[in-house]
A = this chain, B = another copy of it.
Amino acid sequence: MTRTTPDEVGVIACVGAGVIGGGWAAYFLAHGYRVRAWDPAPDAEQRLRHLVDAAWPALTELGLAEGADLANLSVHRDLAEALRGAQFVQESAPEDLELKRRLLAGIDDLCAPEVVISSSTSGYPMTDLQTLCPHPERTVVGHPFNPPYLIPLVEVVGGKQTSADTVAWAAAFFTVAGKSVITLDAEVPGFIANRLQEALWREALHMIEAGEATVEQIDRSITDGPGLRWPVQGPMLTFHLAGGHGGMAHMLDHFGPSLLSPWTRLAAPELTPELRDAVVAGCVAEAGGRSIDDLVAERDRGVIALLRALGRA
């Protein structure tokens, strides 16, 4: 009943083989793991192999791990068989609370008791998903972004019954597997990145509904605008640079009042001194000694590289 250490995992079960589960399978295969997949759809194997084949050129271009081989994929008709020998399980079933609850309980029932079971859920708290599990302490959310074979982010967060060990193991495993991991301390609906992109998405829907912008204008406003800064430094450091040499402190002190402008349908939080200080301190910490001039130079290099990479220079 000793848990495999994160760097010793060799066999992964992928439960659910849609766009996300298939993307995970492709990712793990490219990183040299053996993948045992299961999905209840009658054409599951064909669809999964299509997904993996479609992702493989991209993964090959990025560089396959030693031993990475499409032959390391097996697709099973029986869930218990798929779970046999798995040292880690990634569940990627449709976003249906009852379905996921029952499926996770089934996996938990069938799997060796020390194996960590991670769910790709894009929004359900693990507390709500693990209710039927006999061993809820080893269930955890490991939320990827589409396509999981290219986007590095995985958000890791446990439920009320998840053990701290499980959360730490999952974070360590995804890191070993090459992912960029954010471990959340608290269960926030939608986690972090989805909350942020959902706020943008809802504002976009409101604008389309009100006839304020077209779909194409919304996309271009991002691809040719702030979207070119975000992969380089994120929204917070981006605004750290909007304040000139005064950084985020100047930005908040100077533009703080415009927070109250009706610039989105989302109400602004009150900019209390505590919030202001927390944001400034966070930016300074993230900058980690880099001056505003350093950050501007980094941003410029990054944006130029993006423009070139996308053929827009």
For the A-B complex with A62-B304, A192-B212 known, give 12 more contacts whose Cβ atoms are closer than 8 Å. Answer: A146-B241, A151-B229, A153-B225, A186-B211, A196-B222, A196-B264, A199-B202, A202-B267, A205-B269, A219-B233, A219-B236, A305-B309
0/1 interface trace, chain A 200-217, chain B, CB 8 Å (1 if under): 111111111101111111
Contact partner of A235 (CB less than 8 A), chosen from B218, B224, B303, is B218
Interface of A is mostly: helix
Contacts known (A62-B313, A218-B236, A309-B306); A205 close to B268, Cβ less than 8 A: yes
**Chain B residues in 8 Å Cβ range of A239:** 201
Do residues B264 and A202 form an inter-chain contact, with CB atoms below 8 A? yes
Is residue A161 within 8 Å, beta carbon to beta carbon, of the partner chain? no
Do residues B196 and A203 form an inter-chain contact, with CB atoms below 8 A? yes
Contacts known (A19-B244, A186-B211); A269 close to B196, Cβ less than 8 A: no
Is residue A71 within 8 Å, beta carbon to beta carbon, of the partner chain? no
Bound CA span A306–B229, Å: 12
Minimal Cβ-Cβ distance residue in B for A280:
B215
Minimal Cβ-Cβ distance residue in B for A266:
B266
How many copies of this chain?
2
0/1 interface trace, chain A 127-171, chain B, CB 8 Å (1 if under): 000000000000000000111001111010000000000000000
Bound CA span A282–B186, Å: 37
**Chain B residues in 8 Å Cβ range of A61:** 304
Contact partner of A258 (CB less than 8 A), chosen from B123, B230, B279, is B123
A241-297, CB < 8 A from B: 241-242, 244, 255, 258-259, 261-269, 271-272, 275, 278-279, 281-283, 285-286, 293, 296
Contacts known (A200-B200, A203-B266); A182 close to B217, Cβ less than 8 A: yes
Do residues B265 and A180 form an inter-chain contact, with CB atoms below 8 A? no
**How many residues of chain A are within 8 Å of chain B by beta carbon?**
112
Is residue A7 within 8 Å, beta carbon to beta carbon, of the partner chain? no
Do residues A219 and B237 form an inter-chain contact, with CB atoms below 8 A? yes
**Chain B residues in 8 Å Cβ range of A40:** none
Bound CA span A308–B231, Å: 12
Is residue A41 within 8 Å, beta carbon to beta carbon, of the partner chain? no
